[in-house]
Amino acid sequence: MSANGTKTWFDQQPRIDLGQSPTPLEPLDRLSEELGGPRIWLKRDDCTGLATGGNKTRKLEYLMADALAQEADCIVTYGAVQSNHARQTAAACAKLGLPCHLILSERVPWPYDSYARQGNMLLDRLLGAQIHVCSLDDVAAKRKAVLADLADQGKTVYDIPAGGSSEIGALGYTRCLAELIAQCRDQSINTDLIVHASASAGTQSGLVFGKSLFAMPGRILGINVFHPDPQTLKDRVSNLVQSMTERWPGAALAEAFEVNVNHAYFGEGYGLPTQACIKAIRMAAQMEGLLFDPVYSGKALAALIDQINLGNFSHLNDVVLIHTGGSASLGAYIDAFDE
């Protein structure tokens, strides 16, 4: 934190402690040696603890605090069928004793029965969420119907956008960056490059906002895993960071913000694993004992491995990869790992 009042402002934001933090920052030395590039450090946000953890837990700590402040007695949120955000929201609601409604769209053309029954879908049911599955075209109609039904029941609904990606939710990753900066300082790790999977824009927005807020040297690089047009992701991050600056005018930015996105590892679409992603998941499992997922963190890891192999990071001593979680969905993608 800076000495100009940033810490005071930041600590004043309402937050409920739902997860485990600080999450570990650990070296991947076997993988680093295999690749022969910079030393890879993994920020273990798969260890946040809320129903197997993941990046959405940090967002939900702020979102749920806002929901309770508004005296909400029911939560509604959105995602794809195997949404990590939906699973963590269901867990947060269970922890707080709030009814949870998940509107899940069939947006991923993964043609195996396991996708609709295993992974996050199984956990959503175990966590007691009310699940509403619909086609992508029917999301708006399903949302309208669910909200109307809850209104008829007299419920005060708190509506969370997909991925928890609002100004309030994104603040979770501003907090994560402050935590990461302190860990890097204590371990003498350079923050020249921080890599992560980017989809609904909230994680990257919080990091970008934090980089400007804390004047952190280095670059934030989002690996696009969701948007067919990467400019859409850049625009969403820019707009969300701008909304954060407007919501918290007292948080004077120390530098202009920049948005960096790599689209080269998107593959055929969101939720569709690439061969490079599957190979990267196997490498991490067999060389480091770590589990990545084929939708988010696995594609970010594949991007990092390829960029190191290409020599594009050879000038760096350290690179930090944020593990945003998602391994709970591995069972739903069992068919992707057939030999």
d(CA 239, CA 219): 19
d(CA 204, CA 261): 10
What is each CA distance from 161 to 33, 75, 137, 165, 262, in whole angstroms?
A: 41, 11, 17, 6, 24
Catalytic site residue from 32, 83, 105, 198: 83
83 is catalytic: yes
What is each CA distance from 288 to 280, 318, 333, in whole angstroms?
A: 11, 17, 21
Phi, psi angles (nearest 5°) of residue 40 = -90, 130
**Sign for the pseudo-dihedral over CA of 11, 47, 243, 209:** positive
Strands 260-262 and 39-44, by their bridges, are unpaired
User: DSSP 3-state assignment of 150?
Assistant: helix
d(CA 57, CA 3): 28
Tell me the β-bridge partners of 80: 105
**Sign for the pseudo-dihedral over CA of 106, 110, 114, 120:** negative
User: DSSP 3-state assignment of 99?
Assistant: coil
Phi, psi angles (nearest 5°) of residue 260 = -115, 125
Q: From the centroid of its chain, how far is CA 50? A: 13
Copy the structure tokens of residue 159. 């509506």
Give me the active site residues, please.
83
